[in-house]
């Protein structure tokens, strides 16, 4: 394990990215976002139409990171205990024993998370925030690292339960997946024609281990953040609260998330300090699901990404001389 300094971090990160690129074609931003979220101890919500590789990214991430991977397909009849696990009576022992649910994994894929009702979605809240699960009054820690990768489909709104704001805020990133360019799509089809099977990820190798992921998380946490960069990030987040098109801006948790993401980006570049250049690319992914647009703005077709783009343009980058 050599990921105890930014240079080693950079090498391992590059290895993981390279492995991911073997199965995920043309979704660099998605891959990078997922990796950054994992290394920043965050959770990631991936939104995109069906067939764009959301689940594939999550599965590939599980293999590449070497973490214990589990998947939950969210459905309307999914119960919280189906996620957390429950106490089961044992006839032999005459006692109740706890049968852990799939949430006790290091990398949890919550597929189509908005298909389950709010009560079930909330079963994830404690695990995501406090890294523990309480069942029958007993709190049990989830393994470390613990990362939730949730997916949702933005187009089919019938029979779905939009994630509440409190739940959304727990996600470090919301990554959106768009249609791939024509060249990328051709490459994807060519790969399938050559025998690629997305259900078989045996070709992938683990580029790290859970221990190494934890070590990398520590390295990222130790990356220096200058006061000027902190001020820049805070200003970015505060501007979301002053924007007239935004009814509810991002919370201080967003500032923290932005800083954590920037630390990982800096470390992935082999640096032990954060620059504004590490912050800007992360802003949209960190902020877009934390903004509640004003109804008038929504009616006019304004999107959160547009507002974030404008805010980024309006905040000067820290610089002594320009």
Partner 1 sequence: MVGARAWVLCRLVAVAAFVAVPRVALAGLDPSHAQADVRAAAEERGYPFCSNPRTPLSMHARDLCPQAAEIPGCTGFARACGEQDLERLAWMNKLLRAIAAVVPDFLKTLFRDLWRVIFWVFVGGLVLAILVPAVRALGRARRDPAPPPGDREEKAPPVETLPEGIGEEDLLDLADSHARRGDNAAALQLYLAASLRALDRRGAVRLAKDRTNGEYLRSCAEESTRPDLREIVREVDRVQFGHAPAGGDAVARTARLAAGIVRFLPVLLLVLGLPAVLGCGGFELPKPGDDPAGDELFRDLLRKQGVQVVSLAYSLDSLPLPAQSDDDGDETPALVIDVERTPLDDDTRAHLSAWVHAGGVLVLAGQPSLWPGDLGAEADGASSHGVTARPLSDEPGGEKLEHAELAIPEALRFTGSSARVAWYDDETTYAAEASVGDGHVLGIATDELMTNAGLSRPGNAAALVAILTNANRATFQVARPEDGISPPSSPVATMVRAGLGPALGHALVAAVLLFVAAGVRLSRPRPVPPPERRAFAEHVEAVGALYARTRSAPHALAAYARFAEERLRARMPRGAGDVAAFLAARSGLSVEACHRLWTRATGAASLGEPKGRPAGDELVVLGELAAACAAALAQDK
- Interface contacts to partner 1, rule CB under 8 A: 224, 226, 228-229, 271-277, 280, 299-301, 312-317, 319-322
Q: Which residues contact 258 (CB under 8 A, 6 or more apart)?
A: 233, 236, 237, 279, 282, 283, 286, 287
C-beta of 227: minimal distance to partner 1 in Å? Answer: 10
C-beta of 236: minimal distance to partner 1 in Å? Answer: 10
Q: Which residues contact 161 (CB under 8 A, 6 or more apart)?
A: 114, 115, 116, 117, 118, 121
- Per DSSP, 251 falls in state -
Q: Which structure tokens are listed for 37?
A: 């979220």
Q: Which is nearer to partner 1, 129 or 303 (CB)?
A: 303
Distance CA 316, CA 21 (A): 35
C-beta of 224: minimal distance to partner 1 in Å? Answer: 7
Q: Which is nearer to partner 1, 206 or 234 (CB)?
A: 234
Distance CA 245, CA 301 (A): 11
| Three-state secondary structure call for residue 246 | strand
Distance CA 125, CA 131 (A): 9
Structural contact between residues 287 and 309, judged by C-beta atoms closer than 8 angstroms: no
C-beta of 253: minimal distance to partner 1 in Å? Answer: 23
Distance CA 145, CA 107 (A): 8
C-beta of 243: minimal distance to partner 1 in Å? Answer: 15
C-beta of 144: minimal distance to partner 1 in Å? Answer: 29
C-beta of 206: minimal distance to partner 1 in Å? Answer: 31
- Residue whose structure tokens are 């089809």: 189
Q: Which is nearer to partner 1, 155 or 182 (CB)?
A: 155
Q: Which is nearer to partner 1, 6 or 53 (CB)?
A: 6
C-beta of 269: minimal distance to partner 1 in Å? Answer: 10
Q: Which is nearer to partner 1, 249 or 276 (CB)?
A: 276
Parallel, antiparallel, or unpaired: how do β-strands 138-141 and 44-48 relate? unpaired
Distance CA 149, CA 45 (A): 6
- Residue whose structure tokens are 């957390």: 84
Q: Which is nearer to partner 1, 182 or 299 (CB)?
A: 299
Q: Which is nearer to partner 1, 165 or 277 (CB)?
A: 277
C-beta of 290: minimal distance to partner 1 in Å? Answer: 21
Q: Which residues contact 186 (CB under 8 A, 6 or more apart)?
A: none
Q: Which is nearer to partner 1, 68 or 272 (CB)?
A: 272
Structural contact between residues 25 and 188, judged by C-beta atoms closer than 8 angstroms: yes
Distance CA 237, CA 260 (A): 14
Distance CA 101, CA 313 (A): 45
Q: Which is nearer to partner 1, 159 or 301 (CB)?
A: 301
Structural contact between residues 87 and 125, judged by C-beta atoms closer than 8 angstroms: no
């Amino acid at each position: 394990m050599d990921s105890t300094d930014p240079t080693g971090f950079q090498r391992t990160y590059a290895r993981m990215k390279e492995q991911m690129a073997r199965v995920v074609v043309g979704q660099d931003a998605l891959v990078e976002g997922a990796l950054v979220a994992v290394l920043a101890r965050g959770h990631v919500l991936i939104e995109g139409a069906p067939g764009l590789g959301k689940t594939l990214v999550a599965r590939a991430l599980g293999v590449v990171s070497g973490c214990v991977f589990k998947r939950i397909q969210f459905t309307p009849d999914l119960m919280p205990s189906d996620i957390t696990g429950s106490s089961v009576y044992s006839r032999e022992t005459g006692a109740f024993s706890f049968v852990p649910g799939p949430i006790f994994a290091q990398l949890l894929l919550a597929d189509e998370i908005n298909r389950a009702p709010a009560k079930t979605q909330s079963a994830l809240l404690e695990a995501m925030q406090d890294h523990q699960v309480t069942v029958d009054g007993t709190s049990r820690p989830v393994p470390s690292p613990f990362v939730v990768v949730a997916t949702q489909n933005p187009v089919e709104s019938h029979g779905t339960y939009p994630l509440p704001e409190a739940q959304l805020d727990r996600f470090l990133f919301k990554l959106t997946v768009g249609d791939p360019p024509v060249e990328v799509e051709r490459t994807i089809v060519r790969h399938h024609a050559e025998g690629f099977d997305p259900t078989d990820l045996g070709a992938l190798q683990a580029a790290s281990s859970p221990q190494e992921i934890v070590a990398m998380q520590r390295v990222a946490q130790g990356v220096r953040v200058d006061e000027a960069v902190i001020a820049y990030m805070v200003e970015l987040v505060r501007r979301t609260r002053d924007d007239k098109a935004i009814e509810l801006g991002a919370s201080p948790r967003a500032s923290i998330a932005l800083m954590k993401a920037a630390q990982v980006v800096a470390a992935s570049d082999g640096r032990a300090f954060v620059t504004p250049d590490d912050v800007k690319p992360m802003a949209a992914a960190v902020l877009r699901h934390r903004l509640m647009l004003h109804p008038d703005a929504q009616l006019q077709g304004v999107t959160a990404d547009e507002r974030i783009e404008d805010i980024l343009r309006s905040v000067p980058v820290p610089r002594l001389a320009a």
